[in-house]
Amino acid sequence: MRMKEKVCLITGGAAGIGKATAERFSQEGAKVVICDIVEDAGIAVSNAVGGDFFKVDVTDRTAVQHWIDEVVNRYGHVDILINNAGILRDNFLVRVKEEQLVKQMPEEDFDLVIAVNLKGTFNCTQAVAPTMIQQKAGVILNASSVVGLDGNMGQTNYVATKAGVVGMTKVWARELGRYNIRVNVIAPGFTATEMVMSMPEKVLEGMKSRIPLARLGQPSDIANAYLFLASEEASYITGAVLRVDGGIVIGT
């Protein structure tokens, strides 16, 4: 019961890593509050873990602030924020055929991924920081990715956000450390979420072939990493990037 009586906020908690994290923190005694834009699945997860669900678009600063205010009014404090919400809109920067441009990443896809993955993390952290400062305690955990560290073809927008999240984490660790607020980031590798497992078997086998541990990560592997960084066992860790990737090194 390492999280007993702790209030833990998880964005993108309706499925995948967010869902697994909600389940894991609940097992450790946390009061879990998840937000997502997918209402039915979010309510199902919150009911299963005995927590609360809020329908929130993390790109909407007003909605995010309302969510944080509601949680503080209900519980009186916020101990942990996990910025897990994220989306993909993969495409090559440009594609050419016979030296002629035939396709490129749409600007709207670039902007949307930036808005959710990067600005959404900024919005939620900025909204919760004043409460944690008043408490003089708190943990903020952000979701990056191994591709944010190594790069990956076809993911200009996603990689930009995940690299940006690492940079913001290091800034916030410096700015908020004086208030006993720790800020760290997880960089998962290929993880067997619903989205990944819907890929063709040939693609999945190709992923596994690049991983020294010869398997995809499970959402519970990432949830356990979040749990460690949120716990008192990690009380002297801040500004850190923890790879949870089975040893993968992404090539070109």
**Structure confidence at residue 196 as a pLDDT band (50, 70, 90):** confident
Buried b or exposed e, range 105-128, using 16+ CB within 10 angstroms: beeebbeebbbbbbbbbbbbbebb
Which is nearest to 225 in space by CA: 68, 113, 104, 84? 84
- 8 Å CB contact between 128 and 134: no
**Residue 134 belongs to some domain of the structure:** yes
Q: pLDDT tens, 85-122? A: 999 898 999 999 988 999 999 999 999 999 999 999 99
Q: Residue 2: inside a domain, yes or no?
A: no
- Two structure tokens written together for 36: 């997502």
How confident is the model at residue 251, as a pLDDT?
56
Q: What's the CATH number where 46 sits?
A: 3.40.50.720
| Across 27-40, average pLDDT | 97
**H runs (alpha helix) in 136-191:** 146-150, 156-176
Q: Report the mean per-residue pLDDT for the chain.
A: 94
Q: How many domains does the chain have?
A: 1
- Model pLDDT for residues 36-69, shown as the tens digit of each residue: 999 999 999 999 999 999 999 999 999 999 999 9
Specify if 94 maps to a domain: yes
pTM here is 0.94
Give the per-residue pLDDT at 103. 94
Residue 158 annotated among the catalytic residues of the structure: yes
Extract the runs of DSSP E, i.e. beta strands, from 61-215. Answer: 80-83, 94-97, 100-104, 138-143, 181-188
**Looking at the domain assignment, is residue 23 inside a domain?**
yes
By mean pLDDT, which of 168-182, 187-201, 225-239 is the weakest? Answer: 187-201
What CA–CA distance (Å, rounded) separates 206 from 251? Answer: 12
Of the residues 75, 158, 226, 236, which is catalytic?
158
Give domain status of residue 252, yes or no.
no
Please give the single-letter amino acid code of residue 217: G
Q: Could you tell me the residue range of the domain that residue 144 belongs to?
A: 7-244
Do 211 and 246 meet the contact criterion of CB atoms below 8 Å apart? yes
Going by pLDDT thresholds of 50, 70 and 90, the confidence category of residue 250 is low
